[in-house]
Amino acid sequence: MKKKIVLFILFVLPIVAYLFFASGVNSFTKLPVITPKIADFGNWHSLKGEKVSLDNKITILGFSGTEILKNRGNYFNLNEKIYQRYHDFKDLQFVVICPLGTEEETRKVVEALAAFTDVSQWHFIFASPAEISAYYDQLHLVGKLDKDLGTPNVFIVDKERNLRGRKDKADYKEGYNTFHPADLSNEMLDDFKIILYEYRAALKKNHNATKEL
């Protein structure tokens, strides 16, 4: 019996401890701010004619460019790896800024997603090329839009309109490449969980403070 206990302490316990801390890393980390207080959207409307805002929402932000139909696979990847897992979270939205004139192509992408997904938290909004360029520039990112005003990257924006990511030089991350499912399943999912943990912890703290009052 003693021998089994010793073997457990020497071999099993370290593995259990490693798995615990590895899975709980998000609970003890805060995702850095890459760009603080980015601008809200202009007087832009979605396919449904709705006004969309960044305020008080956790937003996954994308830029489709004019080739949205050609690059529709990127949105299917994002939908499968992130959206479908978390779209029930009421304070979450997925917003894609599209050039004016791409409404019909965008509608086809939304209809394809709607065939197997509740798309109520997907928002495709439209702006002029000049407005899109100006909006992207104020994000102050290293990556740039392509010639079609798009990027495969999507960005995490918190409820206070801060663009979040990783600032460490060895692991800098301002956006997540929707072309590569592994990037979404690993790095983006990890960082997104951190944001969710931050808000859940804040809600719990506020709830406890209210009870104390």
The count of structural domains within the chain is 1
132 vs 3, more confident: 132
Q: Is position 180 within any domain?
A: yes
Q: Is position 109 within any domain?
A: yes
pLDDT, the chain, mean: 88
18 vs 128, more confident: 128
Q: Is position 110 within any domain?
A: yes
The predicted pLDDT at position 7 comes to 54
Q: Is position 195 within any domain?
A: yes
DSSP states along 4-66: HHHHIIIIIHHHHHHHHHHHTGGGG--PPEEESSPPPP-S-BBTTS-B---TTSEEEEEEE-T
CB 104 within 8 Å of CB 143: no
Tens of pLDDT, residues 112-152:
999 999 999 999 999 999 999 999 999 999 999 999 999 99
Q: Is position 173 within any domain?
A: yes
Whole-prediction pTM value?
0.83
The predicted pLDDT at position 6 comes to 53
SS3 120: coil
Tens of pLDDT, residues 146-171:
999 999 999 999 999 999 999 998 99
Mean pLDDT, to the nearest integer, of 201-210? 62
Q: Is position 19 within any domain?
A: no
Task: Break the chain down into helix, strand, coil percent, rounded to 5.
Answer: 45, 20, 35
The residue segments making up the domain with residue 186 are: 28-206
* CATH code for the domain of 50: 3.40.30.10
Q: Is position 3 within any domain?
A: no
CA distances from 14 to 9, 50, 119 (A): 7, 53, 44
Q: Is position 16 within any domain?
A: no
